[in-house]
Amino acid sequence: MRDKFGIALTIAVLTAAASPAVAAAASGESKMIHSIHDFTLTAIDGTDRPLARYRGKTLLIVNTASKCGFTPQYKGLEALYEKYRERGFEVLAFPANNFMGQEPGSNAEIAKFCELRYRTSFPLFAKISVKGRDMAPLYAWLTKESKFKGDIGWNFTKFLVDPDGQVVARFDSRTDPLDAKLVDKLEGLLAGNKR
């Protein structure tokens, strides 16, 4: 006969590989995941940040790294943020060390790097995993449950999210934040066009 610890461990193992909806059900949570607003993550300063605080805003969610060939995209992300934030736009950056160890630093080191090197002012979150067994629940939802499924291929993959918290576009690492296709889609969302 298994004790409570054994049962809890079995549930934890099963839910680690399951979709967020299945994981929530298996762990006894009654809340289903319907949008990015249902997640709470840790900000780079260690505080909890419910993504519900971004309800009504258009978002660009990006997995970042400090030692990647695409790292200069921080400059474009900041330019995009500065241009559109007054219209209800936010960039949410999630540092991740999943690709060839290109984000080895601590949260404090990442924050300092972004501030000093690129003068970023958009929200940075604590380092997470965006693929594999330890994938953060947000990225499990983005890559398995949203309309734009598929593993994260590299650093600086971008998800454009509408004010209702739904993913409406996905751009790969090679797409610069100031690329015309991304900007056109963003401007359409800010103008109230959800197509």
Q: What is the tens place of the pLDDT at every residue in 66-110?
A: 999 999 999 999 999 999 999 999 999 999 999 999 999 999 999
Kindly indicate the confidence band of residue 55, based on its pLDDT and cuts at 50, 70 and 90: very high
Alpha-carbon distance of 88 to 65, in angstroms, equals 25
pLDDT bin (cut points 50, 70, 90) of residue 32 is confident
Instruction: Look at residue 151 and tell me whether its pLDDT is greater than 90.
Output: yes
Burial of 125 (C-beta count, 10 Å sphere; 0-12/13-18/19+): buried
Catalytic residue among 11, 43, 68, 190: 68
Q: 43: which 2 tokens?
A: 């900000």
| 175 Cβ contact list (under 8 Å, min separation 6) | 158, 181, 182
Provide the pLDDT confidence category of residue 33 given band limits of 50, 70 and 90. Answer: confident
pLDDT for the residue 11: 40
pLDDT on residue 125: 98
47: three-class secondary structure by DSSP: coil
* 161: number of Cβ within 10 Å: 25
Q: In whole angstroms, how far apart are CA 82 and each of 76, 77, 90, 184?
A: 10, 9, 9, 16
**Could you confirm whether 68 is annotated as catalytic?**
yes
Provide the β-strand partners of residue 95: 64
How far is 35 from 52, CA to CA, in rounded Å? 9
Residue 18: per-residue pLDDT? 45
Please tell me the predicted confidence (pLDDT) of residue 192: 86
Look at residue 57 in the predicted model and tell me its pLDDT. 97
Structure-token pair, residue 93: 């950056």
Q: φ, ψ for residue 51 (rounded to 5)?
A: -75, -10
Q: Is the pLDDT of residue 8 over 50?
A: no
Q: What is the mean pLDDT of residues 23-37?
A: 63
Higher pLDDT, 191 or 4: 191
Sorted by where each starts, the structural domains of the chain and their CATH numbers stand as 1-32 (no CATH), 33-190 (3.40.30.10)
Identify the band that residue 149 occupies on the pLDDT scale cut at 50, 70 and 90.
very high
* pLDDT value of position 25: 37
Mean pLDDT of the chain: 88
17 pLDDT above the threshold of 90: no
- The answer to which of 36-45, 114-123, 186-195 has the lowest mean pLDDT is 186-195
